[in-house]
Amino acid sequence: MLNRRNFLTAAVGVAAAGGLAACAKEDKSSTGTSSGGSKAITLGFSQVGSESGWRSANTTSVKEAAKEAGFNLKFSDAQQKQENQISAIRSYIAQKVDVIAFSPVVVTGWDAVLKEAKAAKIPVVLTDRSVETSDDSLYVTLVGSDFTDEGRRAGKILEKVLAKAGVKGPVKIAQLEGTTGAAPAIERAKGFKEVMDADHKGDWKIVVSQTGDFTRAGGKQVMAAFLQSNPDINVLFAHNDDMAIGAIQSIEAAGKKPGKDILIVSIDGVKDGFIAMSEGKINAIVECNPLLGPQLMEVVKTVHDGGSVERWIKTKEGDFMQDQAKAALPTRKY
Ligand code: AHR
Protein backbone atom coordinates (compact mmCIF):
# COMPACT_ATOMS: atom_id res chain seq x y z
CA MET A 1 0.00 0.00 0.00
CA LEU A 2 1.14 3.48 -0.81
CA ASN A 3 -0.21 6.74 0.50
CA ARG A 4 0.14 10.24 -0.83
CA ARG A 5 2.66 11.29 1.80
CA ASN A 6 4.96 8.39 0.89
CA PHE A 7 4.46 9.22 -2.74
CA LEU A 8 5.24 12.88 -2.23
CA THR A 9 8.27 12.40 -0.01
CA ALA A 10 9.65 9.84 -2.43
CA ALA A 11 9.48 12.35 -5.23
CA VAL A 12 12.93 13.54 -6.35
CA GLY A 13 14.40 15.51 -9.22
CA VAL A 14 13.37 18.60 -11.06
CA ALA A 15 9.78 19.24 -12.05
CA ALA A 16 9.43 19.08 -15.79
CA ALA A 17 6.66 21.40 -16.81
CA GLY A 18 6.36 19.90 -20.27
CA GLY A 19 4.58 21.30 -23.28
CA LEU A 20 0.91 22.03 -23.48
CA ALA A 21 -1.25 19.41 -25.15
CA ALA A 22 -1.29 20.09 -28.84
CA CYS A 23 -3.21 17.21 -30.35
CA ALA A 24 -5.56 15.82 -27.73
CA LYS A 25 -9.08 17.24 -27.57
CA GLU A 26 -9.26 18.95 -24.20
CA ASP A 27 -12.56 19.83 -22.60
CA LYS A 28 -11.59 22.85 -20.51
CA SER A 29 -14.94 23.31 -18.77
CA SER A 30 -14.71 22.93 -15.02
CA THR A 31 -17.44 20.69 -13.72
CA GLY A 32 -17.14 21.24 -10.00
CA THR A 33 -17.24 23.81 -7.27
CA SER A 34 -16.39 23.15 -3.66
CA SER A 35 -19.36 22.74 -1.37
CA GLY A 36 -17.92 23.38 2.09
CA GLY A 37 -15.95 26.53 1.21
CA SER A 38 -12.68 24.59 0.82
CA LYS A 39 -10.81 24.63 -2.48
CA ALA A 40 -12.20 22.05 -4.94
CA ILE A 41 -9.84 19.26 -5.98
CA THR A 42 -8.61 19.74 -9.53
CA LEU A 43 -8.39 16.41 -11.36
CA GLY A 44 -6.71 16.07 -14.76
CA PHE A 45 -8.15 13.06 -16.59
CA SER A 46 -6.79 11.68 -19.86
CA GLN A 47 -9.22 9.32 -21.59
CA VAL A 48 -8.14 6.77 -24.23
CA GLY A 49 -10.63 7.90 -26.85
CA SER A 50 -14.20 7.13 -27.87
CA GLU A 51 -13.62 3.83 -29.65
CA SER A 52 -16.48 1.81 -28.14
CA GLY A 53 -19.80 1.87 -26.31
CA TRP A 54 -17.85 0.87 -23.20
CA ARG A 55 -15.64 3.94 -23.53
CA SER A 56 -18.61 6.34 -23.95
CA ALA A 57 -20.21 4.90 -20.81
CA ASN A 58 -16.91 5.22 -18.94
CA THR A 59 -16.49 8.87 -19.99
CA THR A 60 -20.04 9.73 -18.89
CA SER A 61 -19.46 7.97 -15.57
CA VAL A 62 -16.22 9.90 -14.92
CA LYS A 63 -17.74 13.28 -15.83
CA GLU A 64 -20.90 12.74 -13.78
CA ALA A 65 -19.03 11.43 -10.75
CA ALA A 66 -16.55 14.36 -10.83
CA LYS A 67 -19.47 16.79 -10.91
CA GLU A 68 -21.21 14.95 -8.08
CA ALA A 69 -17.99 15.04 -6.00
CA GLY A 70 -17.61 18.79 -6.63
CA PHE A 71 -14.24 18.35 -8.36
CA ASN A 72 -12.82 20.69 -10.95
CA LEU A 73 -12.36 18.19 -13.83
CA LYS A 74 -10.01 18.81 -16.74
CA PHE A 75 -10.88 16.16 -19.32
CA SER A 76 -8.96 15.24 -22.44
CA ASP A 77 -9.71 12.66 -25.18
CA ALA A 78 -6.51 11.15 -26.63
CA GLN A 79 -8.16 9.68 -29.73
CA GLN A 80 -6.41 6.33 -29.13
CA LYS A 81 -2.92 7.90 -29.43
CA GLN A 82 -0.28 7.53 -26.73
CA GLU A 83 1.47 10.76 -27.75
CA ASN A 84 -1.76 12.67 -27.12
CA GLN A 85 -2.04 11.16 -23.64
CA ILE A 86 1.55 12.09 -22.84
CA SER A 87 0.90 15.67 -24.01
CA ALA A 88 -2.28 15.86 -21.91
CA ILE A 89 -0.46 14.61 -18.80
CA ARG A 90 2.34 17.14 -19.36
CA SER A 91 -0.28 19.85 -19.70
CA TYR A 92 -1.86 18.80 -16.38
CA ILE A 93 1.58 18.90 -14.73
CA ALA A 94 2.15 22.41 -16.11
CA GLN A 95 -1.29 23.46 -14.83
CA LYS A 96 -0.38 22.07 -11.37
CA VAL A 97 -3.54 19.97 -10.98
CA ASP A 98 -3.97 18.19 -7.64
CA VAL A 99 -4.26 14.64 -9.01
CA ILE A 100 -3.83 13.08 -12.48
CA ALA A 101 -5.87 10.06 -13.56
CA PHE A 102 -5.63 8.29 -16.89
CA SER A 103 -6.62 5.17 -18.74
CA PRO A 104 -3.46 4.23 -20.67
CA VAL A 105 -3.97 3.32 -24.32
CA VAL A 106 -1.02 0.87 -24.21
CA VAL A 107 0.98 -0.67 -21.36
CA THR A 108 4.53 0.49 -22.13
CA GLY A 109 6.28 3.83 -22.63
CA TRP A 110 5.05 5.81 -19.61
CA ASP A 111 8.08 6.02 -17.32
CA ALA A 112 9.37 9.41 -18.49
CA VAL A 113 6.09 11.30 -18.12
CA LEU A 114 5.22 9.53 -14.87
CA LYS A 115 8.61 10.57 -13.48
CA GLU A 116 7.77 14.16 -14.42
CA ALA A 117 4.48 13.90 -12.48
CA LYS A 118 6.29 12.42 -9.49
CA ALA A 119 8.92 15.18 -9.57
CA ALA A 120 6.09 17.72 -9.61
CA LYS A 121 4.59 15.92 -6.57
CA ILE A 122 1.33 15.17 -8.39
CA PRO A 123 -0.07 11.71 -7.56
CA VAL A 124 -1.19 9.58 -10.50
CA VAL A 125 -4.12 7.17 -10.35
CA LEU A 126 -4.56 4.64 -13.16
CA THR A 127 -8.08 3.83 -14.17
CA ASP A 128 -9.38 0.94 -16.28
CA ARG A 129 -5.98 -0.16 -17.71
CA SER A 130 -2.58 -0.88 -16.21
CA VAL A 131 0.97 0.05 -17.27
CA GLU A 132 4.33 -1.72 -17.14
CA THR A 133 6.82 0.44 -15.30
CA SER A 134 10.34 0.07 -13.93
CA ASP A 135 9.31 1.87 -10.74
CA ASP A 136 6.11 0.95 -8.91
CA SER A 137 6.07 4.23 -7.01
CA LEU A 138 5.24 6.12 -10.24
CA TYR A 139 1.53 5.57 -9.72
CA VAL A 140 -0.54 5.16 -6.58
CA THR A 141 -3.20 2.65 -7.55
CA LEU A 142 -5.22 1.10 -10.38
CA VAL A 143 -9.01 1.24 -10.33
CA GLY A 144 -10.19 -1.33 -12.88
CA SER A 145 -10.98 -4.85 -13.98
CA ASP A 146 -8.92 -8.04 -13.94
CA PHE A 147 -8.61 -8.56 -17.71
CA THR A 148 -6.78 -11.89 -17.43
CA ASP A 149 -9.67 -13.22 -15.42
CA GLU A 150 -12.09 -11.87 -18.04
CA GLY A 151 -10.21 -13.93 -20.66
CA ARG A 152 -10.44 -17.00 -18.43
CA ARG A 153 -14.15 -16.39 -17.89
CA ALA A 154 -14.61 -16.12 -21.67
CA GLY A 155 -12.95 -19.55 -22.03
CA LYS A 156 -15.14 -21.07 -19.33
CA ILE A 157 -18.34 -19.59 -20.73
CA LEU A 158 -17.43 -20.88 -24.21
CA GLU A 159 -17.48 -24.39 -22.72
CA LYS A 160 -21.13 -23.79 -21.74
CA VAL A 161 -21.98 -22.27 -25.12
CA LEU A 162 -20.53 -25.27 -26.96
CA ALA A 163 -22.32 -27.72 -24.68
CA LYS A 164 -25.63 -25.88 -25.19
CA ALA A 165 -25.17 -25.91 -28.98
CA GLY A 166 -24.24 -29.60 -28.89
CA VAL A 167 -20.89 -28.96 -30.56
CA LYS A 168 -18.43 -31.80 -30.10
CA GLY A 169 -15.06 -32.33 -31.68
CA PRO A 170 -12.63 -29.75 -33.08
CA VAL A 171 -13.43 -26.10 -32.56
CA LYS A 172 -11.90 -23.54 -34.94
CA ILE A 173 -11.69 -20.21 -33.20
CA ALA A 174 -11.23 -16.74 -34.66
CA GLN A 175 -10.01 -14.15 -32.17
CA LEU A 176 -10.66 -10.43 -32.61
CA GLU A 177 -8.06 -8.75 -30.43
CA GLY A 178 -8.29 -5.31 -28.86
CA THR A 179 -5.81 -2.50 -29.55
CA THR A 180 -2.30 -3.91 -29.97
CA GLY A 181 -0.24 -3.36 -26.82
CA ALA A 182 -3.27 -2.45 -24.65
CA ALA A 183 -3.64 -4.24 -21.31
CA PRO A 184 -7.12 -5.67 -22.08
CA ALA A 185 -5.92 -7.09 -25.42
CA ILE A 186 -2.82 -8.72 -23.94
CA GLU A 187 -4.46 -10.02 -20.78
CA ARG A 188 -7.76 -11.24 -22.25
CA ALA A 189 -5.84 -13.26 -24.85
CA LYS A 190 -3.62 -14.65 -22.08
CA GLY A 191 -6.53 -15.70 -19.82
CA PHE A 192 -8.41 -17.35 -22.69
CA LYS A 193 -5.29 -19.25 -23.76
CA GLU A 194 -4.78 -20.49 -20.20
CA VAL A 195 -8.18 -22.21 -20.33
CA MET A 196 -7.47 -23.60 -23.81
CA ASP A 197 -4.08 -24.98 -22.80
CA ALA A 198 -5.30 -26.40 -19.51
CA ASP A 199 -8.51 -28.06 -20.63
CA HIS A 200 -8.85 -28.10 -24.41
CA LYS A 201 -5.45 -28.92 -25.91
CA GLY A 202 -6.11 -30.77 -29.12
CA ASP A 203 -9.79 -29.84 -29.58
CA TRP A 204 -9.82 -25.99 -29.50
CA LYS A 205 -7.58 -24.15 -31.92
CA ILE A 206 -7.25 -20.41 -32.61
CA VAL A 207 -6.94 -20.49 -36.39
CA VAL A 208 -6.84 -16.70 -36.91
CA SER A 209 -6.20 -13.81 -34.55
CA GLN A 210 -5.85 -10.14 -35.38
CA THR A 211 -6.57 -6.73 -33.91
CA GLY A 212 -9.83 -4.93 -34.66
CA ASP A 213 -8.71 -2.02 -32.44
CA PHE A 214 -11.79 -2.34 -30.18
CA THR A 215 -13.96 -0.67 -32.87
CA ARG A 216 -17.02 -1.82 -34.83
CA ALA A 217 -15.42 -0.88 -38.13
CA GLY A 218 -12.29 -2.85 -37.21
CA GLY A 219 -14.34 -5.90 -36.19
CA LYS A 220 -16.31 -5.81 -39.41
CA GLN A 221 -13.28 -5.46 -41.66
CA VAL A 222 -11.11 -8.07 -39.93
CA MET A 223 -13.95 -10.62 -39.69
CA ALA A 224 -14.59 -10.27 -43.45
CA ALA A 225 -10.92 -11.14 -44.05
CA PHE A 226 -11.08 -14.05 -41.54
CA LEU A 227 -14.06 -15.54 -43.41
CA GLN A 228 -12.19 -15.31 -46.69
CA SER A 229 -9.10 -17.09 -45.39
CA ASN A 230 -10.90 -19.50 -43.00
CA PRO A 231 -14.49 -20.11 -44.12
CA ASP A 232 -14.82 -23.04 -41.67
CA ILE A 233 -14.45 -20.98 -38.47
CA ASN A 234 -17.13 -22.08 -35.99
CA VAL A 235 -16.37 -19.81 -32.98
CA LEU A 236 -15.57 -16.12 -32.62
CA PHE A 237 -13.97 -14.77 -29.45
CA ALA A 238 -14.12 -10.96 -29.60
CA HIS A 239 -12.26 -8.90 -27.00
CA ASN A 240 -15.20 -6.47 -26.89
CA ASP A 241 -18.87 -6.19 -27.90
CA ASP A 242 -18.29 -3.48 -30.50
CA MET A 243 -15.95 -5.70 -32.53
CA ALA A 244 -18.43 -8.59 -32.19
CA ILE A 245 -21.21 -6.35 -33.52
CA GLY A 246 -19.06 -5.30 -36.49
CA ALA A 247 -18.15 -8.95 -37.11
CA ILE A 248 -21.83 -9.95 -37.09
CA GLN A 249 -22.37 -7.70 -40.12
CA SER A 250 -19.62 -9.52 -42.03
CA ILE A 251 -20.88 -12.94 -40.95
CA GLU A 252 -24.37 -12.08 -42.23
CA ALA A 253 -22.94 -10.61 -45.44
CA ALA A 254 -21.19 -13.96 -45.99
CA GLY A 255 -24.59 -15.71 -45.76
CA LYS A 256 -23.95 -17.27 -42.33
CA LYS A 257 -25.98 -17.03 -39.12
CA PRO A 258 -24.15 -15.39 -36.20
CA GLY A 259 -24.90 -17.26 -32.97
CA LYS A 260 -25.64 -20.48 -34.88
CA ASP A 261 -23.15 -21.15 -37.71
CA ILE A 262 -20.56 -19.17 -35.79
CA LEU A 263 -20.90 -19.14 -32.01
CA ILE A 264 -19.86 -15.81 -30.49
CA VAL A 265 -18.46 -14.92 -27.07
CA SER A 266 -17.51 -11.31 -26.35
CA ILE A 267 -16.56 -9.05 -23.46
CA ASP A 268 -18.09 -5.81 -22.05
CA GLY A 269 -21.88 -6.13 -21.70
CA VAL A 270 -22.88 -2.81 -23.28
CA LYS A 271 -26.54 -2.31 -24.26
CA ASP A 272 -25.92 -3.01 -27.96
CA GLY A 273 -24.16 -6.24 -27.00
CA PHE A 274 -27.19 -7.27 -24.96
CA ILE A 275 -29.50 -6.38 -27.88
CA ALA A 276 -27.43 -8.60 -30.21
CA MET A 277 -27.51 -11.33 -27.57
CA SER A 278 -31.31 -11.07 -27.15
CA GLU A 279 -31.61 -11.42 -30.95
CA GLY A 280 -29.64 -14.67 -30.73
CA LYS A 281 -26.56 -13.27 -32.52
CA ILE A 282 -24.12 -13.31 -29.57
CA ASN A 283 -24.11 -16.47 -27.41
CA ALA A 284 -22.52 -15.16 -24.21
CA ILE A 285 -20.97 -12.01 -22.79
CA VAL A 286 -18.39 -11.58 -20.04
CA GLU A 287 -19.07 -8.30 -18.29
CA CYS A 288 -16.46 -5.54 -17.94
CA ASN A 289 -17.97 -2.71 -15.94
CA PRO A 290 -17.20 0.82 -17.26
CA LEU A 291 -18.98 2.69 -14.44
CA LEU A 292 -15.74 3.46 -12.63
CA GLY A 293 -16.42 7.17 -11.97
CA PRO A 294 -17.75 7.07 -8.37
CA GLN A 295 -15.00 4.70 -7.19
CA LEU A 296 -12.36 6.74 -8.95
CA MET A 297 -13.49 9.99 -7.30
CA GLU A 298 -13.42 8.33 -3.86
CA VAL A 299 -9.87 7.17 -4.49
CA VAL A 300 -8.80 10.59 -5.79
CA LYS A 301 -10.18 12.25 -2.65
CA THR A 302 -8.45 9.73 -0.35
CA VAL A 303 -5.13 10.10 -2.16
CA HIS A 304 -5.42 13.90 -2.19
CA ASP A 305 -6.15 13.93 1.55
CA GLY A 306 -3.12 11.75 2.34
CA GLY A 307 -5.03 8.52 3.03
CA SER A 308 -3.86 5.09 1.92
CA VAL A 309 -5.48 2.96 -0.77
CA GLU A 310 -5.08 -0.58 -2.07
CA ARG A 311 -2.63 -1.01 -4.92
CA TRP A 312 -5.35 -2.45 -7.20
CA ILE A 313 -9.04 -1.73 -6.63
CA LYS A 314 -10.81 -4.39 -8.68
CA THR A 315 -14.19 -4.01 -10.31
CA LYS A 316 -16.97 -6.53 -9.65
CA GLU A 317 -18.65 -8.03 -12.71
CA GLY A 318 -20.76 -10.99 -13.94
CA ASP A 319 -21.21 -13.31 -16.94
CA PHE A 320 -24.32 -13.67 -19.10
CA MET A 321 -25.60 -16.46 -21.33
CA GLN A 322 -27.96 -15.73 -24.23
CA ASP A 323 -31.06 -16.96 -22.36
CA GLN A 324 -30.52 -14.26 -19.69
CA ALA A 325 -30.27 -11.40 -22.19
CA LYS A 326 -33.93 -10.45 -22.60
CA ALA A 327 -34.57 -10.31 -18.86
CA ALA A 328 -31.35 -8.37 -18.15
CA LEU A 329 -31.69 -5.84 -21.00
CA PRO A 330 -34.17 -3.37 -19.39
CA THR A 331 -31.97 -2.93 -16.31
CA ARG A 332 -28.62 -2.54 -18.09
CA LYS A 333 -27.16 0.82 -17.05
CA TYR A 334 -24.84 1.29 -20.02
O1 AHR B 1 -10.14 -1.12 -21.38
C2 AHR B 1 -11.43 -1.59 -21.50
C3 AHR B 1 -11.73 -1.91 -22.93
O4 AHR B 1 -11.50 -0.78 -23.74
C5 AHR B 1 -13.15 -2.32 -23.23
O6 AHR B 1 -13.37 -3.69 -23.20
C7 AHR B 1 -13.27 -1.87 -24.65
O8 AHR B 1 -14.57 -1.89 -25.14
C9 AHR B 1 -12.63 -0.54 -24.55
O10 AHR B 1 -12.45 0.12 -25.68
pLDDT attached to residue 169: 82
The model's pLDDT over 26-43, given as tens digits with 9 standing for 90+, comes to 564 444 444 456 789 999
- For a pocket test of ligand 1, which of 47, 48, 54, 146 has the largest count of ligand atoms closer than 8 A to its C-beta? 54
CA of 14 to the centre of ligand 1 (A): 35
Q: Report residues whose beta carbon is within 6 angstroms of any ligand 1 atom.
A: 51-52, 54-55, 128-129, 184, 214, 240, 242, 267-268, 288
Nearest ligand 1 atom to the CA of 182 is 1
CA of 240 to the centre of ligand 1 (A): 7
Query: pLDDT at residue 10 above 60?
Result: no
Secondary structure of residue 61 in the 3-state scheme:
helix
Nearest ligand 1 atom to the CA of 239 is 6
Strand order in the sheet with 171-177: 204-211, 171-177, 235-238, 263-268, 284-287, 319-321
pLDDT attached to residue 45: 98
CA of 256 to the centre of ligand 1 (A): 27
Write b or e for each residue in 94-116: b if 16 or more Cβ atoms lie within 10 A of its Cβ, otherwise e.
beebbbbbbbbbbbebbeebbbb
DSSP conformation letters of 208-259? EEEE-TTSHHHHHHHHHHHHHH-TT--EEEESSHHHHHHHHHHHHHTT--BT
Tell me what the mean pLDDT of segment 106-121 comes to. Answer: 98
Tell me what the mean pLDDT of segment 77-99 comes to. Answer: 98
* pLDDT band of 5, cuts 50, 70, 90: very low
- For a pocket test of ligand 1, which of 214, 245, 266 has the largest count of ligand atoms closer than 8 A to its C-beta? 214
Nearest ligand 1 atom to the CA of 183 is 1
pLDDT attached to residue 25: 55
pLDDT attached to residue 238: 99
Q: pTM here?
A: 0.90
Query: pLDDT at residue 23 above 60?
Result: no
Nearest ligand 1 atom to the CA of 103 is 1
How far apart CA 60 and CA 296 sit, in angstroms, is 13
Domains of the chain, earliest start first? 10-145+290-316 (3.40.50.2300), 147-288 (3.40.50.2300)
The model's pLDDT over 126-156, given as tens digits with 9 standing for 90+, comes to 999 999 999 999 999 999 999 999 999 999 9
